[in-house]
Chain A
């Protein structure tokens, strides 16, 4: 017995160590995701038996005007969110001075990052509240009346994205602060000797050293933009008339409120495929870096 144990424990023990993680992650995350794709080929109310309808859900989706509204909104999120990396870099550059008190200033800039998205949603709902909110106050200072952003179907998505980008900028700022603190002093010094300053220095000397950080900031920001759900749910519940829905929210609404689980799964699958582009891009770079370092 002990002989068998001794011979095999070199692989049995590590296997036992890693097994719980693999099983838990495999069942709850990976298998569930694959199962959703399977469900998307069915008509299912979540209780009764599933009925195979092939691509029926996808065909219906292509004819659903709400699908295009959601898709367009996802695109708006993605485009506006791309402002987060440059703005995060700008704040990082602004606060990167070693002066007494700057440490607390930096921490205060981080705060939006640790707030719950529900809290951010409510904070901005309050800011946007017509007549009484902070925005109305700011407008009235100029004798203007603030638009009711959250009930205007053309402005609503922009209003939510601006709220959501707040913590995202803070996130990019954290990444860039770490990045600019590990810049090569030699290259900066050489740049200074060559007379590079300000923009020139930033563009030709600093940014090339930050490509890895920039890549991560962009990839994670893009994934974050496409995953957006919480803020929409809290601020507008997709309204008015579905005009602020995105795929993630439409999926939730179709499944939980309309009991159309097959249709919801099809929307989730489309979102998954869109995001897969970014996930694979991210993974391929990480793994290449990983293999290179081994």
Chain B
């Protein structure tokens, strides 16, 4: 291991090391602590300019209730769920199918398709903005959840296909040979060999996709304008304009946007890290 592990016996060293790591961690997360602390401050303290001193009251419940009752945040939250969940499911299905074909079937242009899927994923969003927006206007989906679902499904399919292709390519070849020898067709192999084996990859991919899509801001502002469709990210940016000095309300709203991906991450941490490194390192 590098760096050299601190031995169990060096208790003093361990204590110093842990203390140092915790100090660095506190500095690292200081901006986040600032927003959490502000989100539980009372409006009185905010208007008195008492932002960092000892709080005169406890505004946790009040602030979060305010965000849900006095702002459209609850609506934005529902919109985000409505956009994110179907997109994730759509991408998982499409990328399993495409990844299976790309990894287990030899055909012309497979490398080109693979390259386009990876390359397309790194394009600046602006290069597709005008035509995508125009397309959604033409087909009457502009400013509906469908416009975002379709866009995210299309865009994330590039990355996800590469991810699934690499995972399926790493499965033992013998399984596929045996299935073929038994006379299994492509669709039987997919349903009976691939799908049961790719579950961990699908879990990792699902959490990554959830984070990417939930956190999207650019497409939310390009493809939606109404409060009834807008996801939390675009909604939060709006609130920021309306509640200029009410930092406790804005902080609470920010926390509401931040919590779902963070919670997902802590629940499925191992999948998340494995997915991220596999997605990036192998491709």
**In the complex, A58 has a CB within 8 A of chain B:** no
Minimum CB–CB distance for B258 against chain A, Å: 5
Asked if B181 is at the interface of the complex by the 8 Å CB criterion, the answer is: no
Q: Which stretch in A61-69, A144-152, A153-161, A261-269 binds the other chain?
A: A261-269
Please report the C-alpha to C-alpha distance between residue A109 and residue B277 in the assembled complex, in whole angstroms.
Answer: 16
B146 at the interface (CB under 8 A from A): no
Inter-chain contacts of B157 with A (CB < 8 A)? 21, 24-25
Q: Provided the pairs A29-B158, A178-B281, A279-B119 are in contact, do residues A94 and B21 lie with their beta carbons within 8 angstroms?
A: yes
A36-B130, A122-B236 as given contacts; A109 in contact with B28, CB under 8 Å = yes
A269 touches B94 (CB 8 A): no
Is A271's beta carbon under 8 Å from chain B? Answer: yes
Cα distance, A268 to B151, chains bound together (Å): 18
Q: Does B14 contact A (CB under 8 A)?
A: yes
CB-based contact A101/B161 at 8 Å? no
Interfacial residues of chain A within 7-21, with CB under 8 A of chain B in the complex: 9-11, 13-14, 17-18, 20-21
A2 CB-CB contact with B under 8 Å = no
From B28, B128, B221, contact of A28 by CB (8 A): B128
Contacts of A13 in B (CB 8 A): 185-187
Chain B contact-residue range equals 35 or more
Query: Are B31 and A134 in touch, CB under 8 angstroms?
Result: yes
Q: What separation, in Å, do the CA atoms of A111 and B49 have in the docked complex?
A: 29
Is A22 positioned at the interface, with any CB of B under 8 Å from its CB? yes
* Whole-angstrom distance between the Cβ of B144 and the nearest chain A Cβ: 15
Cα separation A33 to B124 with both chains bound (whole Å): 9
A252 touches B129 (CB 8 A): yes
Interface centre among A11, A13, A233 (most CB of B within 10 A): A13
In the complex the two chains form, what is the Cα distance from A93 to B4 in whole Å? 10
B window 89-146: CB within 8 A of A: 94-95, 97-98, 100-102, 105, 107, 111, 113-120, 122-132, 134-135
- Say yes or no: is B155 at the interface (Cβ < 8 Å to chain A): yes
Which B224-283 residues have C-beta < 8 A from chain A?
Answer: 232-234, 236-237, 240, 247, 250-251, 254, 257-258, 261-262, 264-266, 269, 272-273, 276-277, 280-281, 283
Residues of chain A within 8 A (CB-CB) of B122 are 223, 275, 278-279, 282
Interface residues of A in 67-88 (CB under 8 A from B): none
- B197 to A: closest C-beta gap in Å: 17
Q: When chains A and B are docked, how far (Å) is the Cα of A230 from the Cα of B233?
A: 10
Shortest Cβ distance from residue A151 to the other chain B in the assembled complex, whole angstroms: 14
Cβ of A165 under 8 Å from chain B: no
Within 8 Å CB of A280, what residues of B? 119
CB of A31 closer than 8 Å to a CB of B: yes
Asked whether any CB of chain B lies closer than 8 Å to the CB of A164, the reply is: no
CA distance A72 to B273 in the complex (A): 34
Please encode chain A, from 252 to 294, with 1 for each CB lying within 8 Å of some chain B CB and 0 for all others. 1001100001001101110110010011101100110011000
Judge if A124 is at the interface, Cβ distance under 8 Å. Answer: yes
A264 pairs with B276, CB closer than 8 A: no
- Which of chain A's residues have a CB closer than 8 A to the CB of B114? 287, 290
Q: Are A32 and B51 in contact (CB under 8 A)?
A: no
The answer to whether B172 has its CB under 8 Å from any CB of chain A is no
Which of B54-62, B63-71, B198-206, B212-220 contacts its partner? B212-220
In Å, the complex CA distance between A267 and B127 comes to 9
CB distance A230 to B217 under 8 Å? yes
A24 touches B154 (CB 8 A): yes
Give the shortest distance, in Å, between A247 (CB) and chain B (any CB).
Answer: 8
> Measured between C-beta atoms, what is the minimum distance from B67 to chain A in Å?
13
Residues of chain A with a CB closer than 8 A to B178's CB: none
Whether B185 pairs with A9 at a CB distance below 8 angstroms is: yes
Contact for B127 among A9, A133, A206, A268, CB less than 8 A? A268
A-contact bits for B13-26, CB 8 A (1 contact / 0 none): 01001100110110
Q: How far is the CA of A229 from the CA of B123 in the complex (A)?
A: 13
Q: How far is the CA of A35 from the CA of B123 in the complex (A)?
A: 14
Some 8 contacts from A to B, beta carbons below 8 A apart, are A18-B101, A18-B113, A97-B6, A97-B17, A105-B25, A116-B233, A185-B1, A202-B2
Chain A residues proximal to chain B, CB less than 8 Å: 9-11, 13-14, 17-18, 20-22, 24-25, 27-33, 35-36, 39, 46, 91, 93-99, 101-102, 105, 107-112, 114-119, 122-127, 129, 132-134, 137, 166, 171, 174-175, 177-180, 183, 185, 188, 192, 201-202, 205-206, 212-213, 216, 220, 223, 226-227, 229-230, 233-234, 247-248, 251-252, 255-256, 261, 264-265, 267-269, 271-272, 275, 278-280, 282-283, 286-287, 290-291
For the complex with contacts A111-B29, A116-B258, 9 further pairs of A-B residues with Cβ separation under 8 Å are: A18-B97, A24-B150, A91-B28, A118-B234, A129-B247, A134-B30, A174-B277, A192-B4, A251-B129
